[in-house]
Structure formats: structure tokens, C-alpha cells
A and B are shown apart, each in its own frame.
Chain A
Amino acid sequence: MSHLLAAARARILSLNFWKKWLWIIVRFVLIVGLSFVILYPILKKISTAIKDRADLYSPIVVWIPENFSLDNFRQAIRVMDYWETLLNTFTLAGMTTVLTAISCALAGYGFARLKFKGSNVLFACVVLTILVPPTTILIPMYLNLKDFSLFGLIPLFNGGKPVNLLNSYWPFVLTSMTAVSYKAGLFIFIFRQFFRGIPKEIEEAAYVDGAGVTKTFTHIMLPNAIPAIITVCLFSFVWQWNDSFFTTTYLTSSKVMSTQLSSLPHNLQVQLTAGVSQEDPFYLSMVQDTGILLAILPLIIIYLFVQRYFVESVERTGIVG
């Protein structure tokens, strides 16, 4: 009797064993396959970027180019004015990131812990800013920034003329200082959820020890909120870096990555043929792909450094609530 039982148990065990291994194999295939799908366009771009023009139509070249060349990089760097563009984009994205993080952290903390009369109504307004498509307010924003008067205050100081803020970094500075830049509502939401998750006792202990609200915030709450800060900074930086929606509206003449990238084929065409004849569109696209690669390269480098903290921190961010 007992050996029958033992045999039956062994069979179940082996069935479980097989199920476990089958799952491991399926999981492995899925993860590798999907990773490949994600990495494929990047790999393809790298392969395109190092190709010579002659390889473009060659049917034997799939991944490794026959004629290796860095000419695409040279063209893209020259046409995009890469180094200057890189510096500009870095300045713009860095500036908005810092300002957005500060203003959203303040607002998030205010909504999470410093409840006041009407704070729930105001928080509903934050949610409203998330829900309204940016397109809806784009035109009034544009007109507002074109003749910026700050409730009619500015004309009082410079002789009755509103200032034109378009084509400067001011629209980005002002909106990120006041926590209404791109997706800032989401960042306020993240900070609020995070601050709500920090135990109240820590805060009370600080108050008992005689710290004021400001000191508690800067010395106790902010150091504890580093995961949320990293998440918000990375998102904000990346979205500003890649943004074409606002940059093409507010910042038409300045050289930043997204505008340079979308006008790259046109600019190259003009430079190569002096605008007279048609340059091969596939060649233009090839250089543009190289341009995209150059544009995302800094982001990938940053990501490689922060991704560990980022992934860990998101797990503890409590976007969840």
C-alpha cells in the first residue's frame, strides 16, 4: 500500500516538475522575444547608421554593412548642429526638470499633509489638469504668451506693452515653476501619494523636537521621498527632451533636439542640393534615423546609470496609493 502511495506521489511531483519547467521555458521565450521586439528598432538604427549610402539598396546587406562608413553621423551632426542642440536641449530639459520637481513636491506635500479648507476641491482641479487634453488650451496659451501681461502687471513697468515670451525659454520656466508644465498634474499626484505613505509619527516627532513646517519638509520628508523624486525627475526630463508638442509651438527658432530632428531631412535636402533638385528620400530618411540615434543616445546613457535606482524606486513610489 505504502509503495503505491509513494509511486503516485512521485508521479504528481514529476508532473509539477514538468509544469514548472514548461512555464520557465515559456517565460524565457516570451521575455527574450519581447525584449527583441523592443530592441529591434534600435539595433536596426545602429546598423543603418553605419551603412554607406551604396548599401542602402543592396539586397545582400541586412545587418552588417558591406561598406562601413561614418558619413551618416557626420551629416547628421552637421545638419542638426548637434553639439549646440545638445547643449540647448540639456539646458532646457534640466531646467524644467529641477523646477518641476520642486514645485510639484511642494504642491504634493501640501495636498497630502497640510490640509486646509478647500484643499480637496483644489486637488480635484489637479486631476482636471490631467484630464483636459493639452490641445484644448493650446491656442489661448499661445496668445497669452505672445502678449504676456501677468494680469496687466507687466505693462505698468515697461510703458504699457505686454512682452512676447514666444521663442524664449520663459514659457517653459514659468509653467514648470508653477507646476503646470507637461504632465505636471501626474507628478503632483505621484508626490501626494508618496507623502501620504510616509508614517505620520516621523513628522510628529519632528514637530515635537521643535522643527517648523519648512524644516520638517526639507530635512525629514524630502530625504525620505528620494524614490519619488527620482521617478519624477526622470519622467520630466525625458518627456521634455522628446517633446515636440510644446517646443514646436513655443520655441520655433531655437535649436533643440525635437525640432531639429523633425526638420532634419528638409535641412539636409536644402544643404545638399541647394533646394533645386530632389535628393533621394531614402537617403534623407537614413540620415534622419542616424539623427534619432544621436538624439536618444544621451537619454540611453543617463538611463543606464539611473535605471537601477529608477526601477527600485518606482516599486516603492506608491503611485498605487
Chain B
Amino acid sequence: MWGVVYVLPWLIGFILFFLIPLINSLRFSFSKVESNANGLQVQFIGMDNYINALTVNTSFNRTLVESIIDMVVNVPLIVIFSLFLAVLLNQKFRGRGIARAIFFLPVILASGVIATLETESLIEALNAENQTGSFISGLRSFELQRMMLEAGVNESIVMYLTGAVDRIYDIVSQSGVQILIFLAGIQTISPHLYEAAKIEGATGYEAFWKITFPMVSPLILVNVIYTIIDSFGNNETTALIREVGFTNFNFGLSSAMAWLYFAAVALILLISTYIISKRVFYYD
């Protein structure tokens, strides 16, 4: 009884600002929507908008595929990177507080409008032009790439990894929340497990793979989902959908695109959840 009272504000919001808009959006996607003096006129036209989005519109296919590829490429990198950093930041060393403060800074800075403007900044481009040979270009992966290729590593893997090094800022700046989640998870692992492992003579490496990794594996799922969702806010497809809706005022087409996008994302979420949850280890 009290439960309903506590959940009620959310329930009102859910119906008013989520469920009704969601149903309307689905309805729009199958209709021709016209706004005139008498208000909104919605006329059912079947699958036309979907066909239009996929075959007539010049950029939707390409943008959608690009966004999805970006997502598929970045998600594993971000998750692995943030797990690694969480383990690192959990160790005891001097200046840990400062290091943590800096690593969570992107949670604040790399969201919304600032992240968007960051990528468009001409000054950044100019700076990059001006300073070949300074420290930051030392971070580039040219040497690494050569070394790995000579060591006989598969070319596509090398390209993937060196690409990751070149995009290190993007990856660091998108993994703030994920590091937090992993860090919180690692802290809940009982120290007894590590003590026992140490007595048995396990190395730090073994302790990671036998204890830390299985114990945080449910969080890998959480983080994969979070990373996918996080990419909604700021990508090309979202921008295109908005443009079609608010610049061209083609509400029907825009809704159809949004639903195609949602379907694609839902599919990715389902596949990754299925793959990961088969391997996840639950302690209790």
C-alpha cells in the first residue's frame, strides 16, 4: 500500500512523459504527420516512413551503420580499459587521492555540449598542427604499430589496438562512470579471498584472473549496457534524427528513424547481454 504512494510520482511521470510519448512516437512512425492551424493531423500510411528512411533518405543508412560500428568498436575498449584502471586505482600508492580525482574529472567534463564542442574546436586542430614533435605526438602509436607487426601479430588486431592508442583521450574521457562502477565492485570483494590466495602462493596476476575478474564479471555486463546507453546522447544518428524532425519538420520520418535506431540498439543490447551473461559468475 505504502509502496504505491512512494512510487506514485514516478508512475505519473512514466505514463505522462514516457509511455504516452512512446506510443505516440510509434504511431507517428506509421503516419504522415502534419501540423496546421487546426492542430496536429496524423494520417496512417503504413510502412512508408520506414521504407523512406532506409531507401530514399541519403544519409540514414550510412550514419546508422557508422554509429553502430563506433559503438561495437568502442565498447570493449572502454570496458577493458576501465577495469584495468579500476584495479590500478584500487592499489595503495602515494597520491592515490589525486589520481582518483583526476580520473573522475571526465565524468564532469566529457558530457553534453562540452564534449560536442571539444571535437569541433578549431583551436585544438590548430594546436595539433603546430606541434609535431612535442610530447603529445610522442603518444602516437607509430612505433608501437611497427613493433607489433614485426613481432608477427595479426594485422587487424594491431590496427585495432593502435587505433585505441590514438583515441586514448576519447576512451579515457568516456570511461569515468565505468571506472567508478568497477571500483565500487572491487571494494566489495572480501579481503579474505586475497589473503587465502596469497597463502596458497598465488601471484598478483593469478589473483586478478581467479578472484577479481570473476567477482566483477556481473559488473562487466552492467558496464557494457551503460556504455552503449551512454553513446545515445552524443552521436551522429541522434543528430540526424533531430535534424529531420526539427529542421525539416518531417515528424513521421524522424520517428521512423528513431524506431529503427532503437531496434538496432535493442538488438545489440540483447546480443551482448546474451553473450556476456552466459559467462558471468555469480558469487551467491
Contacts and interface: CB of A to CB of B under 8 A. Distances in A.
Nearest to A310: B104
A319 B181 contact: yes
A75 B104 CA distance: 31
Of B100, B168, B219, B246, most A-chain CB atoms within 10 Å: B100
Interface in A259-310: 261-262, 281-282, 284-286, 288-289, 292, 295-296, 299-300, 303, 307-308, 310
A293 to B, nearest CB: 10
A141 B258 contact: no
Given A137-B25, A261-B117, A310-B104, A48 B123 contact: yes
Contacts of B238: 133, 135, 245
Contact of B22 (A38, A111, A137): A137
B184 A131 contact: no
Of A110, A151, A188, most B-chain CB atoms within 10 Å: A110
Contacts of A158: none
A42 B176 CA distance: 16
Interface string B109-123: 101111111100111
Contacts of A300: 105, 108
A138 B20 contact: no
Contact of B10 (A41, A62, A178, A316): A178
Contacts of A133: 232, 238, 258, 261-262, 265
B108 A299 contact: yes
B99 A35 contact: yes
Interface residues of B, number: 93
B118 A41 contact: yes
Main SS at interface, chain A: helix
B169 interface: yes
Interface of B: 1-7, 9-14, 16-18, 20-22, 24-25, 28, 39-40, 85, 88, 91, 93, 97, 99-109, 111-118, 121-124, 126-127, 130-131, 134, 136, 139, 168-169, 172-173, 180-181, 183-185, 187-188, 204, 218-219, 222, 229, 232-233, 237-238, 241-242, 245-246, 251, 254-255, 258-259, 261-262, 265-266, 269
28 contacts: A24-B93, A44-B123, A106-B7, A119-B7, A129-B18, A132-B18, A134-B233, A135-B237, A137-B18, A139-B255, A177-B9, A177-B13, A180-B14, A238-B108, A243-B112, A243-B113, A257-B113, A261-B117, A282-B123, A285-B122, A286-B123, A289-B123, A303-B108, A314-B183, A318-B184, A318-B188, A319-B181, A319-B184
Given A138-B241, A243-B112, A285-B123, 11 more contacts: A38-B106, A38-B172, A111-B3, A140-B21, A150-B16, A178-B13, A239-B111, A242-B113, A244-B116, A284-B122, A318-B188
